[in-house]
Amino acid sequence: MSLFLPIPGNRTCKMAGIDDHWCTCHKGIKIPTNSLDARVTAEQLVKQINEYVKEQQQCVELTLAAVLDVTEMIAGEPREKEVGWREFMAVVRTTPGDGVFEGTLRQHRQAWSLAGTISRLNLYGEQSHCVDHYQLKLYCYCR
């Protein structure tokens, strides 16, 4: 797309290069935070965060403290061989440190994958003083 050309009225997020996580055109269905779907999604999000820092011995493993919000997204295009997938956007609080994170996850059968990035929604202050990498600082809680 060019700023100097007309934008088509039927442009999609995919055409504009916008990840599903950031696309505001999608509809969402709020999932009760005490439901099994919400709990499983939230746990998968925390698992993905821990994957980011697993090689960092100075970072503790985070656990799920609270499911703050889960929305099933009615959006996107399935990847190759992804029939019957579901997509969820979740906001969780972790412990220790009370980190608040948001991410979009895809479920296909029993497998989960991250659709985009995980955002830190609150400040981490000195919690990640033991790492220098700018991205890891978002997720690490130092021992």
Q: What is the pLDDT along the chain (143 residues), one digit of tens a residue?
A: 667 878 766 666 767 777 766 666 667 889 999 999 999 999 999 999 999 999 999 999 999 999 999 999 875 555 566 566 788 999 999 999 999 999 999 888 788 999 888 999 999 989 999 999 989 999 999 99
Distance CA 99, CA 104 (A): 17
Tell me the DSSP string of 16-62: HT--GGG-SSSEEEEE-TTSHHHHHHHHHHHHHHHHHHTT-TTBPPP
CB atoms within 10 A of CB 42: 27
Domain of residue 65, CATH code: 3.10.450.10
Query: Is residue 2 domain-resident?
Result: no
Q: How many domains does the chain have?
A: 1
pTM: 0.80
119 within a domain of the structure (yes/no): yes
Count of other CB atoms within 10 angstroms of residue 10: 6
Domain coverage including residue 58:
26-138
Is 15 within a domain?
A: no
Is residue 102 in some structural domain?
A: yes
- Position 50 in a domain: yes
The answer to whether position 66 is within a domain reads yes
